[in-house]
């Protein structure tokens, strides 16, 4: 492994619960179009709910890393394209499986997300996620939620310079398919602590 040092919540959670319940049922019975459709809709709701967890701040520390030298590219947050009525697989930063429609990759690097990262984030409902990049955002010295262990298909995780602090949860070491992890940090005020036992389990 490479290691580098406005939807209402009840409505969203209802769809997500139905999705997970249906997914368990489909593991016993043959899958159907309705199952895939329901779960896909649940993932869209999860992303929209995740979006509401943060504000957008273009002036946080080290945001200059997200701007090209000559300002030839527009400065914007990828989540600004996340809107109801638009296919979520076409949203910036979102990649889906061509067959199932499940979200398999989320690249929110330099999306200028600002705010505390919730431990009950709906991001953890994206159980088919294989790649997650949250680098260069500002999560205000949040702790990395142990609930990240729910993303059991995750292969690539980049949370570098994203304002996380404190102990790296041992649950990250228990992600069975993880092959690359970037914890490097350019924020002076935020430090991640990686215990030897966690590191040993990672490698």
Residue 76 confidence (pLDDT): 84
pLDDT tens column, 61-93: 666 777 764 555 667 899 999 999 999 999 999
pTM of the model: 0.79
Q: How confident is the model at residue 194 (pLDDT cuts 50, 70, 90)?
A: confident
Mean residue pLDDT of the chain comes to 80
The answer to whether residue 105 scores a pLDDT higher than 90 is: yes
The answer to whether residue 32 scores a pLDDT higher than 80 is: no
Q: What is the 3-state secondary structure (H, E, C) of 101-169?
A: CCEEEEECCCCCEECCCCCCCHHHHCCCCCEEECCCCECCCECCCHHHHHCCCCCEEECCCCCECEECC
Share of the chain above pLDDT 70, in %: 68
Residue 93 confidence (pLDDT): 96
Residue among 145, 182, 198 nearest 5 (CA): 182
pLDDT tens column, 140-161: 999 999 999 999 999 999 999 9
């Amino acid at each position: 492994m490479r290691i580098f040092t406005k939807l209402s919540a009840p409505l969203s959670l209802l769809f997500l619960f139905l999705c997970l319940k249906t997914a368990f049922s489909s593991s016993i019975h043959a899958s159907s179009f309705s199952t895939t459709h329901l779960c896909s809709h649940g993932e869209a709701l999860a992303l929209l709910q995740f979006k509401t967890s943060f504000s957008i701040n273009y002036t946080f520390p080290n945001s200059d890393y997200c701007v090209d030298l000559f300002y030839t590219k527009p400065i914007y947050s990828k989540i600004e394209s996340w809107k109801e009525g638009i296919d979520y697989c076409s949203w910036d930063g979102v990649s889906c499986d061509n067959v199932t429609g499940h979200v398999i990759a989320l690249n929110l690097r330099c999306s200028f997300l600002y705010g505390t990262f919730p431990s009950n984030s709906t991001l953890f409902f994206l159980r088919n996620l294989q790649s997650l990049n949250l680098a260069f955002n500002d999560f205000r010295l949040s702790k990395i939620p142990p609930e990240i262990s729910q993303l059991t298909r995750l292969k690539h995780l980049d949370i570098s310079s994203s304002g996380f602090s404190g102990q790296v949860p041992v649950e990250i070491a228990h992600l069975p398919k993880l092959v690359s992890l970037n914890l490097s940090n350019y924020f002076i005020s935020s430090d991640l602590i990686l215990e030897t036992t966690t590191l040993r389990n990672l490698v």
